[in-house]
A and B are shown apart, each in its own frame.
Chain A
Amino acid sequence: MSVRSDAPSAAESGFGAASDAALMARVKAGEREAFAAIVDRYKDRVVNYLTRMTGCRDRAEDLGQETFLRLYRSAGRYEERGHLAALIFRIATNLVRSEERRERRVRFFSFDFEREDERTTPSPQSGVLRDEALARLSNAVADLPLRFRVPLVLHEVEGWTVPRIAEALECREGTIKSRISRGRQRLRESLEPYWKGGAA
């Protein structure tokens, strides 16, 4: 499966079909327009990925913005190897990891173990989860341990190949295949009672 390409938006159109490498070279030189073009090019993929990772559309939007800000701050150290997408998704993944750690700490110290999860009650206006079946599946994906969730979402949702995920996550392909398989197994186990009930 190939990675889908998004149509260039207004900000990006000024740069035509400029490559990621060309745009990043301009970003390193401090050109905000080139940075805006990169944001336009990747924003939908990043927000979709983060929505599946967190199960929450609003958090995905915030984390997506932070992802691009961190990309800009680290642009000076960027070395062109044709892996800009991998870098952006790695930043996004690290943000999810950091936020989940912070949430666990906050919950532990505030003894707030029964906190209402914001993603279980999505706002109707968001248009994210159209029915209960989708909501259950989306939440089950977001509840997977991070080591299973990242390769599963990149593979199933973003359409990355196993070798590409292995390269981005700096793991062996066998490890990625195993984690995807175990992620699917866990999803089946958590959704089986619901699906057996015929509600899906």
Chain B
Amino acid sequence: MTDRDLSKRIRDLPRETARQDFTQRVLERLEEDTAPGAEGWSWKPTLAIAAAALVFALIPFAAWQLDEGHTSTGDAAELQALRAEHSQLQDALQELTRGLSSDAGERVVYLGGDDTLDVVFDPSPVATQMQPASYTMPAGGARR
């Protein structure tokens, strides 16, 4: 079958015409579309659905936000406790330092003894007189 034959057959298909009341029905549908309340009926449900969707979308976000706030409060309390503990430790350290400095002269190391004799070592003169060893780089700068 050639293109010409095919075209002829397609063109020979019967031409359809619109029904008698076609225009009237279009106008009626147009009236229905523009009737008072018709337009409102069409956009109000759409708006309601959109609002509901927005609310549902916001619920997880709000829950997450609340959880975040709760976590922040917990973190703040924990930080406060740590600071208090740090402060207590700081005070205890200072007190200990003061105590050590006040009785530094009485510090001795007990080495041994018996009922009549205690052998002790008093390091305080050593501690006050000791100086750190000097350190010099060997010739050539290399460590051996």
Residues of chain A at the chain B interface (Cβ within 8 Å): 9, 11, 32, 35-36, 39-40, 43-44, 46-48, 51-52, 57, 60-61, 64-65, 68-69, 72-73, 127-128, 130, 134, 137-138, 141, 152, 156-157, 181, 184, 187-188, 191-192, 195, 200
A11 and B6 within 8 A (CB): no
Query: In the complex, what residues of B have CB within 8 A of residue A138's CB?
Result: 13
- Measured in the bound complex, the distance between the Cα atoms of B28 and A68 in whole Å is 12
User: Could you tell me the distance in whole angstroms from the C-beta of B19 to the nearest C-beta in chain A?
Assistant: 6
| A43 touching B22 in the complex, CB below 8 Å, given contacts A32-B27, A187-B6, A188-B6 | yes
For chain B, residues 1 to 56, give those with C-beta under 8 angstroms from any C-beta of chain A: 1, 3, 6-7, 9-11, 13-19, 22-23, 25-27, 29-30, 33
A58 nearest CB across to chain B (Å): 10
Min CB distance A152 to B, Å, is 8
* Interface contacts beyond A43-B23, A157-B10, A184-B6: sample of 13 additional A-B pairs, CB < 8 Å, sorted by A: A32-B30, A40-B23, A44-B15, A48-B15, A48-B17, A52-B13, A64-B18, A65-B25, A69-B26, A138-B13, A156-B7, A187-B10, A188-B6
Q: Classify chain B: how many residues form its interface, as a range.
A: 20 to 34
Would you call B10 and A60 a contact (CB within 8 A)? no
In the bound complex, do residue A65 and residue B22 qualify as a contact, i.e. CB atoms below 8 Å apart?
Answer: yes
**Which DSSP category, helix, strand, loop or mixed, fits chain A's interface?**
helix
Distance in angstroms between the alpha carbons of A138 and B22 in the assembled complex: 23
Q: Nearest chain B CB to A132's CB is how many angstroms away?
A: 13
B-side contacts of A192, CB under 8 Å: 1
Q: Is the CB of B29 within 8 A of A69?
A: yes
Pair A137/B18 contact, Cβ less than 8 Å:
no
* Cα separation A57 to B14 with both chains bound (whole Å): 12
Q: B18 near A47 (CB under 8 angstroms)?
A: yes
Q: Which residues of the other chain, B, contact A47 by a CB distance below 8 angstroms? A: 16-18, 22
Q: What separation, in Å, do the CA atoms of A127 and B17 have in the docked complex?
A: 11
With both beta carbons as reference points, the residue of chain A lying nearest to B15 in the complex is identified as A48
CB-based nearest B residue for A137? B9
Tell me, rounded to whole Å, the shortest Cβ–Cβ distance linking A49 to chain B.
Answer: 9
In the complex, how many angstroms separate the beta carbon of B75 from the nearest chain A beta carbon?
49
15 of the cross-chain contacts (CB-CB < 8 Å) are: A36-B26, A39-B26, A44-B16, A44-B17, A46-B18, A47-B16, A47-B17, A51-B16, A68-B26, A69-B26, A156-B7, A157-B11, A184-B3, A187-B10, A191-B1
Instruction: Compute how far the CA of A36 lies from the CA of B6 in the bound complex, rounded to whole angstroms.
Output: 36
8 Å CB contact of B18 from A35, A44, A157: A44
Interface-central residue, B3, B16, B27, by most chain A CB under 10 Å: B16
